[in-house]
Amino acid sequence: MERSFEGVAEKRLYNAAARGDTRSLHELLEQDPLLLDRVSYTCPNKTPLHVATLQGHLAFVQEILNRNLQLAEELDLQQYSALHIASAKGYVEIARKLLSAAPDMCLFRDCQGRNPLHLAAMKGHVQVLSELIQKAPLAAREKLDRGLSLLHLCVKYCQLEALMMLVPSMNELLNSKDDDGDTILHMAVRDKQIEIIQYLVGSTSIDINAKNSEGQTAIDILERNPTDATNLEIRKILRPRLCNSSSTKTQQPEKWLTKKRDAIMVVAILIATMAFQAGMTPAGGVWQEDSTHDSNGNPVTNPHWAGEAIMARNHPKYYKSFMRVNTVAFVSSLSTILLLISGLPFRRKLFLWILMVIMWLTITSIAVTYAISALVVTPRKNKKSLSHDIEIAVTVWCCVMGILLVGNTVRLIDRWLKKKGIIVWRPRRYRNPSEINQVNASQESV
């Protein structure tokens, strides 16, 4: 008897939820205060909160939440929560109430892997999307199983207004790709959604040259479609950005030049520091005190004073060579720094190659400085073998520098001649021996 009474009460509760009858709800709860608690674990599918939300009864939803907040976390057989239903239906106030009761439900997915934000985007409910994103920004960045983002869903279901609302706050997903490598522009062009294409091309920074997994850009997809009035309209929309994208491609060498310039600046500063330090404290150090008279008070033959380089007295020839190459390294590195900060047009590769030649001279000079320093501080018994090793190393180094200099010079001349329209002779490459035989036969006939 009690079980049948409970069944009748539950049926009346569901009927009241479908009608939004809060008065009947109060009467039922007065008769059975545990009715909502019991329904939360005995209902086979939807709870009364699901039903009331589906019908859009705000007052009834509020009453249920006042009595039992746990119902906001209950899922039906399709893994829908009440928030899923409110998002799909576009009930802003109900969604706001449910968010306050159970904000974590934004992260729950239904049987098809969709959270409440996905459903709101598919239906184009902008106000609901705004409420959900404020409460759960991480849920807005979750993707569906095939890699579809929230922006992909807006394009797939032709929800331009929702897309325009989402892009400013989700700009990092603008060029996001699904599992097929398609961006939202690929999808919009494939579906011929002119308004969405106009918005993406004209009001966002979307990359129109992005390629999908098949190596296709949006314009490639357009070219494969049969030509019609819609395709012509889309081509008109894309053309201005295509021109701009070609200009951005020309900016790539400038980025390369900027990186090269920064690298040269770092190397020049480092070498200038090394050369300065070597000039102030040469290998072997400096005299710590004056020596102008011997112990008897007589003037010495080779006097020296504190602070002078020991190398200058003990190895005068080495010291002169050391100071020359070290000065070259120091001055050339300072010249490089001065040229880089002077504001000259170093975006042109010619100026950059000039800087690189100066840096080759600088690096070579600092290498010779090291070699001389090593010779000075090496004991006499090991000096002969060290001198031989250094001679080989310097020879190899100079050969490498010479090859680099000649190679880059030839490349610069070749590029300059191409710009002038001068055809540089190059030996013809034959693909197979038969072609060579034909050429030889023609020459013999002549």
Asked whether residue 256 falls in the same domain as residue 359, the answer is yes
Task: Tell me whether residue 296 is in a domain.
Answer: no
Looking at the fold, whether 275 and 404 belong to one and the same domain comes out as: no
pLDDT at 308: 75
pLDDT confidence bin for 54, thresholds 50/70/90: very high
- Residue 229 included in any domain: no
Given 89, 108, 142, which residue is the final one in a domain?
142
Please tell me the distance from the alpha carbon of residue 64 to that of residue 50, in angstroms, as a whole number.
11
- For residue 386, how many other CB atoms are within 10 A of its CB? 14
Domain that includes residue 441, residue range: 387-446
Residue 172 forms part of a structural domain: no
Give yes or no: residues 405 and 353 share one domain: no
Given a cut of 50, is residue 2 above it in pLDDT? no
- Global confidence as pTM: 0.55
**Residue 113 CB contacts under 8 Å (≥ 6 apart), including other chains:** 144, 145
pLDDT higher at 152 or 382: 152
Domain boundary among 332, 355, 377: 377
Together in a domain, 353 and 408: no
361 with 436, same domain: the answer is: no
Average pLDDT estimate for 291-314: 66
14 and 61 share a domain?
Answer: yes
Instruction: For residues 415 and 367, state if they share a domain.
Output: no
Residue 130 lies in a domain: yes
How far is the C-alpha of 292 from the C-alpha of 326, rounded, in Å? 29
> For residues 233 and 189, is the Cβ–Cβ distance under 8 A?
no
Please name every residue paired with 361 in a beta bridge, in sequence order, or none if there are none: none
Does the residue 410 lie in any domain? Answer: yes
Same domain, 264 and 399: no
pLDDT score recorded for residue 3: 46
Domain assignment present for 411: yes
pLDDT the model gives residue 162: 95
Same domain? For 402 and 445 the reply is yes
* Residue 104 clears pLDDT 60, i.e. is over it: yes
Tokens for 104, please give them: 């974590």
366 & 442 share domain:
no
Is residue 399 assigned to a domain?
A: yes
CATH of the domain at 89: 1.25.40.20
What gap in Å lies between CA 332 and CA 340, rounded to an integer?
A: 12
What pLDDT sits at residue 171? Answer: 87
Does residue 313 sit in the same domain as residue 410?
Answer: no
Q: What is the mean pLDDT of residues 289-313?
A: 66
Among the candidates 101, 123, 142, a domain finishes at 142
Report residue 165's pLDDT band, with 50, 70 and 90 as the boundaries. Answer: very high
pLDDT band at 421 (very low <50, low <70, confident <90, very high): low
CA 11, CA 35: separation in Å to the nearest integer? 11
With a CB cutoff of 8 Å and minimum separation 6, the contacts of 121 are: 129, 150, 153, 154, 157, 159, 162, 166
Please give the helix or strand (H or E) that residue 255 lies within, else none: helix 229-280
DSSP one-letter code for 111 = T
- The answer, yes or no, to whether residue 106 has pLDDT greater than 80, is yes
Residue 28 lies in a domain: yes
Overall number of domains in the chain? 3
* Ordered DSSP codes for 34-98: THHHHHHHH-SS--HHHHHHHHT-HHHHHHHHHH-GGGGG---TT---HHHHHHHHT-HHHHHHH
Q: Does 125 lie in the same domain as 87?
A: yes
Round the average pLDDT of the chain to a whole number and report it: 81
Cα gap 405→117, rounded to integer Å: 61
In this predicted structure, the answer to whether residue 131 has a pLDDT above a threshold of 90 is yes
